[in-house]
């Protein structure tokens, strides 16, 4: 099958997750089409949150900015299949199988886990963040961000961010989750890639994923866009949110090893 025919078949594919009929509008593009090097920042991407694929929906929205110009106004399904085919070339089958198992693991937890503090699973900026941080985000300028920051070494910024009450609720939720998992005989997937952590949990695994999406897009990305543009700070598309406890007889030796694959690291220190 030629590249042109492959692309044409994508155009004719029905919408994902839909049982309706689809009108076919064949649009030919050459097999030499590639993603653009620079993003089209003023383009408004489609919403892919309703899809259940092996990739985070934010990745599709982010990559849409890099589509060839003549594809930007095509249907969502055309763009979806085009981007997904590109992603599949670079994601080994073993990784795709692992991602599917991870989805099933998280779904099982979400359907059965009884939250202790339901209110912290939905973004509530006023109760999560300190006023100084919210003011800086609202002004959304480099000057406003620097006004709340210290820079102990080049490229590393520290600032006050979370309300103490939110931190207490988050820590008690983590403890509650650990006890629940122990009682149900489920296995906790630890934060470290090699599962060496014995005192930590991945927040995305027990229903925090949607809240962390908002956390990343609305409150981290405005800052990373200003201070880390060369590292993709303006187009964050995924996160690995976790809590890990360091201390005597705990995971001290792993304190510097978390998130080795991350381009940007955002750490929150909670003193207990």
How far is it, in rounded angstroms, from Cα 80 to Cα 58?
A: 12
Q: Which of 77, 75, 79, 4 is nearest to 35 (CA)?
A: 79
| 149-153 vs 156-159, strand pairing mode | antiparallel
Statement: residue 6 has pLDDT above 50: no
Q: Give per-residue pLDDT as tens, 38-47.
A: 888 889 999 9
| Token pair of 145 as six digits | 């961000």
How far is it, in rounded angstroms, from Cα 77 to Cα 204?
A: 27
How far is it, in rounded angstroms, from Cα 94 to Cα 25?
A: 35
Residue 54: half-sphere exposure toward Cβ, Cα within 13 Å: 18
Q: Give per-residue pLDDT as tens, 172-226.
A: 999 999 999 989 988 888 776 544 556 688 999 999 999 999 999 999 999 999 9
At 222 the pLDDT is 95
Distances, alpha carbon 52 to alpha carbons 56, 101, 107, in Å: 9, 13, 12
Q: Give per-residue pLDDT as tens, 130-177.
A: 999 999 999 999 999 999 999 999 989 999 999 999 999 999 999 999
* pLDDT confidence band for 5 (50 / 70 / 90): very low
**How crowded is residue 197: how many other Cβ atoms within 10 Å of its Cβ?**
23
At 271 the pLDDT is 60
* pLDDT confidence band for 35 (50 / 70 / 90): confident
Q: Give per-residue pLDDT as tens, 86-134.
A: 888 887 888 878 888 888 899 899 999 999 999 999 999 999 999 999 9
* pLDDT confidence band for 58 (50 / 70 / 90): confident
End-to-end CA gap in the chain: 61
């Amino acid at each position: 099958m030629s590249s042109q025919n492959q692309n044409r078949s994508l155009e004719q594919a029905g919408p994902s997750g839909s049982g309706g009929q689809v009108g076919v509008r064949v649009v030919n593009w050459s097999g030499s089409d590639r993603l653009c090097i620079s993003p089209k920042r003023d383009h408004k991407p489609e919403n892919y949150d309703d899809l259940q694929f092996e990739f985070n929906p934010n990745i599709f929205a982010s990559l849409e900015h890099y589509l060839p110009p003549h594809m930007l106004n095509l249907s969502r399904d055309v763009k979806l299949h085009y981007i997904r085919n590109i992603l599949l070339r670079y994601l080994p089958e073993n990784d795709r199988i692992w991602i599917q198992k991870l989805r099933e693991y998280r779904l099982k937890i979400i359907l059965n886990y009884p939250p202790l503090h339901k209110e912290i699973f939905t973004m509530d900026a006023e109760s999560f963040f300190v006023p100084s941080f919210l003011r800086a985000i609202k002004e959304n300028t480099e000057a406003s961000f620097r006004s709340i920051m210290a820079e102990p070494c080049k490229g590393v910024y520290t600032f006050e961010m979370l309300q103490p009450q939110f931190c207490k609720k988050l820590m008690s939720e983590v403890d509650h989750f650990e006890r629940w998992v122990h009682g149900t005989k489920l296995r906790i997937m630890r934060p470290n890639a090699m599962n060496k952590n014995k005192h930590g949990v991945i927040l995305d695994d027990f229903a925090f994923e949607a809240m962390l999406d908002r956390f990343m897009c609305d409150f981290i990305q405005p800052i990373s866009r200003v201070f880390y543009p060369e590292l993709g700070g303006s187009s964050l598309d995924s996160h690995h949110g976790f809590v890990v406890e360091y201390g005597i007889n705990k995971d001290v030796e792993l304190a510097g090893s978390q998130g080795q694959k991350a381009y940007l690291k955002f750490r929150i220190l909670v003193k207990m």
